[in-house]
Structures are given as structure tokens and as C-alpha cells.
Structure 1
Amino acid sequence: MRDPQHLFEAAHRLMAQSDGGAALERAAKLMQAAADLNHAGAANNFGAMLQYGRGIALSLDRALIYYQKAAELGLAEGAFNLGFMHLHGLATNKDAVLARRLFEQAAAGDDVDALTHLGRMAMLGEGGAQDFAAARGYWTTGAKLGDGRCAFNLGIANAGGHGAPPDFKMAYAWFLEAEKLGNETAPTELKKLRPIMSEIEIEDAEKLSREMRISAN
């Protein structure tokens, strides 16, 4: 029997060496072969190739099948991709409840995309109960994993008083953290907050941000 890991690595080498054409088609065949031998990463990657038509004809129906396989094999990214398809009704009916459950599965594996989406769904009550504390918890976990979107969302939640009274110092601290993590919108939000905060409040927020960096590391 062929080694699925070797097939997976060979597919990646071909993908890295080519912008398309025959090499990419060969990579898709190798990726499928590895996926069919129950390689979780290959199942997820082949699902993506099918979803976007890379090296193989685009097929959302087949992409759904391979994402399902990756999720069942325990890959967090596969669970997220499967949940995303159910959330948006790609090759299946829209099902926010199932999507939220799949995102929770992915979040258990520290998938930051899932944590970002879960926070939004919990904040809005989409696919389940509205839970502001849970939303903040998901985003805090994501931010500590280095995701700038989650840090930014925490800034918005604190500034807007979603689930708690507005806290501009905490909002400022999270926007600083988001900026450090590469979020391009965070500087705009910092600029909005500065005129309505005192120098002492900004200093306190900067101290909070430094403490966040320590806790994240």
C-alpha cells in the first residue's frame, strides 16, 4: 500500500513548484490518493482544491464530502471548512446550528477561524443562544493564539458595551493588541478613541496591553 504521508508531501512539492497546469493536476491526483487513504490533511486540502477548482474541476459537492472526511478524521481545519459550507449553504442547505457545532469542534483544536466565527455567532445568537460572555471568551482565546481579528473584535465589544458596560480603556488595550497582531483596521479605532480618553486612561490602557502580551506569551 502507498504511504499517504509520502503522497501528501509529494503533492505539496508539486504545488510549491507550479502555478498551474499539468503539475497542479498531478498534485490534485496525489492529494486525492492520500485523502482516500485517510490522511486528514490531504482530505482537507483536496476539499479546498475541489472548492476552488485548483488542479481539478470545481465541485462543491465533492468538496463537502472531503471536508466531512477531514473533520471525521479529527482535523480542526476540516471541521471549520465543513462548518463554513453549512453556514453559507454551499452544496448543502444553510444550517447555522450545525455550523456552530462544527466550529466548536474546530475551536477545540485551536482553529482561530472557528474562534472568530463562534464569537460572532454567540454575540448575535446565530445557530444557538446569544451569549456575550461566551463570545468574549472565544475571541480572547483566539487573540491569545495570535489572531488579530479576535483582538479587534474584543475592542469593538468593549467600546460598544456588548454584554457589559462600555470600557474604553479595555477597548483601547485590545485595539493596541490587534494592531500589534497586524490588524489593519485597529489604528483607525485607536484614533477614534484618543479624543475621548484622558492621558491617564490611555496610559492605563497601554499598561493593560503590555500585560496582555505577557499573558499571551
Structure 2
Amino acid sequence: MPGVEESIIFLAEEGPGKVLRNTLLTLARSLAGFTLGTAAALALGLLYTLGPLARETLRAVNTVLQSVSVLVWVVVLVMLFGVLSPLPPVLVAALVALPIMLSSLLSGLESANPRLLELAAVLGAGRWSLYKDFLLPSLLPSLVGAGRAALGAALRISVVAEAFGSSGGIGYMIASYYSLAEPRGVFAWGLLLVTLMVALDKLVLERLEEWARRWAALPRQQ
């Protein structure tokens, strides 16, 4: 097994252009999938407020999404769009992020503060205004926390889709060196993925979650 130092040397030999290009490609696909999954979760959250039938339907849909293996999504999407299509990594990331965000959103909507609903009714807020101006801001800390987990999962899973079929990215590089029986390449690009995930979590997501918690605590302090 190659060591950390040997893996870093291998990456240096790959060249900064190649490393940066594939890293940014994986990151862009993961962010696109996460954004798509989050947008879908927010749209479904609005449907959740329509009534009991909508709530039961969304609970069932969320259960199905959580039950389907990621491997199934990857294989099906690669079969549908082709090996070299850029869509499978993005869509797989979206399908992984969606149930994480949706679970947090539905849980928050179910336990919404009744006083908040009463205030919205007194102010004459419609369904869209209630959802956008009252419910979502109150759920911001939990949604940011779920987003932290969802983005990390999206990044991990998009790499799997890249390994199955893609024209670039960290997963593609890992699969390529595996097929060439080059363990240094596998470990080097794997180390790069771990470094990217840790840096993204510590430098961006953790600080964003701390900001959301402080923002939610401001009214209580006043």
C-alpha cells in the first residue's frame, strides 16, 4: 500500500493542471447535484403544506427514496444516459441529497411552532408566504445542518458515478488507475478526495452551520 508521502509525490507528477481540472469537475458535479436535490426538496416541502393527502404521499415518496440503493441509481442512470454523459454524476448526487434534505424539512414542518402559524394567520399570510417567510426561516439551522450532510454524501456518491461512467473527475481517475493496476494512482486520487471533503466541511460547511445557529439564537438573546 502506498504511503501518504508517495501518494503526494504521485499527484505532483500528475501535474497541477490535471489535478485541478478533475478536482473542479467533481466538485462542480457534486454542487450541481446538491443544488438540484435541495431545490426539489424545497418544492416538495411546499406541497407538504397542501393537506393530509399530500403529507402522506410525500412521506411515502421519501421512504422510497431512502430505500433505493445508490448502486441502483448509478447503474440505471449510466444505462439511460451513456457512459460518457455528464448527467449520471449530477443526478446521482441529487438523488442522494434529496432524501436527506427532505427528511429534515418534513420533520421541521411537522413540529412547526403553533404560535408561528397563528402569527402568519393573523398577518393574513397566504400558503406561499407562510412557507417562505415563516416556516423556512424557522427551519434554517436544521436545514443547514442537513445540507452539510447532504453535500458530503453528494460528493462521495458522485465519485462513484464517475467511476462507473464518466469522461473525467476524481472517480474517473481512480477507476482508470485501478484498471491499469496502479495502486499509487488509486491511493493518490483517493487521498485527494478525502482532503477535498475535509477542507470543504471544515472551511465552509462547518462555519455556515455555526452562522445559522447564531442567527437563530439572536431573537432569544434580544
Compute the TM-score of the two structures, normalised by the length of structure 1.
0.28
Structure-2-length-normalised TM-score: 0.27
Of structures 1 and 2, the one scoring higher in RCO (CA 8 A, sep 6+) is 2
